[in-house]
Amino acid sequence: MNIIYIVQANSWNLNAGTPIIANQYALLAKNKNFNVCVITPTNNKENFYKILKKNDILYYSIPSITEWRLNGFDEKKNRIDEDLKLPFKPDLIHIIDWLHFDSQFLYSISNLKVPIIRHYCAFEDFCYFVHPIYKKKDNSLCNFKLNADICSDCISENIFKNYKLLKRVKSFLLNEKKKNLQMLKIKLKDRVKIANSHIDNIYDHLIFPSKSFADYFFTHAKATKPYSVIPHGIKINKIINKKSSKETFNIIYTGGYAYRKGWEIVEQSFDKLLRKYPNKIKLRIYGDKNKIQKSKLGKFDNIEFFDHFNHNDIKSVLSWADIGILPSLFETYGTIIREYLSFNVIPVVSNFFGANDIIKNNENGIILEKNGFEDLAFSVEKILNNIEFTNKLRKNIFETKIISEDEEFDKINDIYNLYK
């Protein structure tokens, strides 16, 4: 079988999220003797329409579109067809995401008349921010039909709220906010309609990583296409059953400075916890080292700050930890909590999509009732101060079944076989 995967970047250029997933699928497909090509966008003109071979997998680069969030759905542009020379004729195309591709690219590949599978790992087709958490003041999800008026207002508010005083005054005098709002409405006018059109006219089958995210997705989309729910698998690195009898707990947070990952919640809760338990906590924070060192947590000696770790180093990173936290405002699955479990790290997480598929609250982890700094601090304290409770969590974590990469791909391959 000849398969083409489409994703926003190569995993060695963006060692996170969908590029890792795409690379994982490509390697497993190659192990089944499929011919595999991964198509990614690039800003480097020297690499336009070039083919790179790595691990017997072909990587093909095409021009990236600038400001994809606004321009990706501009259907008047057509800069792809005449230049799109694929390395082979595919039997099937699997789109993990199409960020930074021209919208016309989707129509170009649909003209190949082969089955196209669309994997929804986020919400980029309908939300400018990819994660629809910026409209409401309580950070709850957008739960209404998105449209140009609603989204333009949300984007505009978030663009201008961070302006410093002088820039704010200048913007007011030049009436920039009103002009920007009008531009956004024009750009976003047909986005929802076009996104639904892609589903109706281009994709043959949809895949979601969790049932709860699929349910949310269909409150915004009008799709009637067949779909499957296939959880993401991980490399299983089950280690010995840890027991907590020591006085100091190693805690890890891997979300960096990202608002979506709950950074503000982490900052406030650990400012409180580290004052209260100065000798009981060691904290490692991965991501955006320079920014986070300047936060209120920068003054504590028992915190280590790192940039984002390479996923290939995950064993050494997670083996250190006793507790892993992730108070995210939006996740469609949360692979990192499965990786916490795999290394017998106690997860303390928000109830995002897919969290309660694998975590039973107070049995093999903690799911925050209210995703705020007080609840996070309280939940961490429960672990710090109750060894019996902590060891119960560890025992249950050790017995938790986690889906592997191979198990996931077997389910993906079942979908491929439907469209042979």
Beta strands 303-306 and 323-326, pairing class: unpaired
Here the CATH number for the domain that contains residue 59 is 3.40.50.2000
Q: Do 297 and 222 share a structural domain? A: no
Give the model's pLDDT for residue 143. Answer: 81
Is the pLDDT reported for residue 360 higher than 80? yes
Say yes or no: 394 and 412 in one domain: no
pLDDT at residue 81 greater than cutoff 60: no
Average pLDDT value for residue range 240-260: 81
Residue 137: inside a domain: no
19 part of a folded domain: yes
- Write the pLDDT tens digit of every residue in 390-419: 999 999 998 999 999 999 999 999 999 999
The answer to which of 124-128, 140-144, 206-210, 303-307 has the lowest mean pLDDT is 140-144
Q: Which domain holds residue 79?
A: 2-129+189-233+405-418
How far is Cα 371 from Cα 386, in angstroms, rounded to an integer?
22
Query: Does 87 reside within a domain?
Result: yes
- pLDDT at res. 39: 96
Higher pLDDT among residues 160 and 157, named by residue: 157
Question: How confident is the model at residue 136, as a pLDDT?
Answer: 83
User: Which pLDDT value is given to residue 66?
Assistant: 85
- pLDDT tens, residue by residue, 218-242: 998 887 899 999 999 998 776 655 6
pLDDT at 272 over 60: yes
Q: Is residue 77 part of a domain?
A: yes
Same domain, 278 and 319: yes
| pLDDT above 90 for 350 | yes
227 and 305 both lie in a single domain: no
For residues 307 and 392, membership in a common domain is answered with yes
- Statement to judge: residues 70 and 199 lie in one domain: yes
Could you tell me if residue 159 is inside a domain?
no
User: Residue 8 to residues 14, 20, 51: CA-CA distances in angstroms?
Assistant: 9, 11, 16
- pLDDT value of position 167: 67
- Whether residues 221 and 283 share a domain: the answer is no
Residue 249 DSSP label: E
Average per-residue pLDDT for the chain: 90
Query: Looking at residue 78, what is its pLDDT?
Result: 53
| Domains contained in the chain, number | 2
Instruction: Examine the domain organization and report whether 266 and 117 are in the same domain.
Output: no
Q: Between 104 and 24, name the one with better pLDDT.
A: 24
Sequence-distant (6+) residues with CB within 8 A of 89 are 2, 112
pLDDT above 90 coverage of the chain, percent: 67
Is the residue at 240 inside a domain?
no
- 197 and 343 housed in the same domain: no
Secondary structure class of 153 (helix, strand, coil): helix
| Buried residues in 365-380 as b, exposed as e (16+ CB within 10 A) | bbbbeebbbebbbbbb
pLDDT in tens, 168-192: 666 656 667 788 889 999 999 999 9
Which whole number is the average pLDDT over 276-292? 93
Q: Do 349 and 229 share a structural domain?
A: no
Per-residue pLDDT, 122? 94
Cα–Cα dist 390/124, whole Å:
38
Distance CA 77, CA 72 (A): 10
Q: What is the pTM of this model?
A: 0.91
Residues 263 and 205 placed together within one structural domain of the fold = no
Tens-digit pLDDT profile for residues 11-59: 888 888 899 999 999 999 999 999 999 999 999 988 888 899 998 899 9
Is residue 171 in a domain?
no
Residues 36 and 63 in one domain: yes
**Mean pLDDT, rounded, for 318-334:** 94
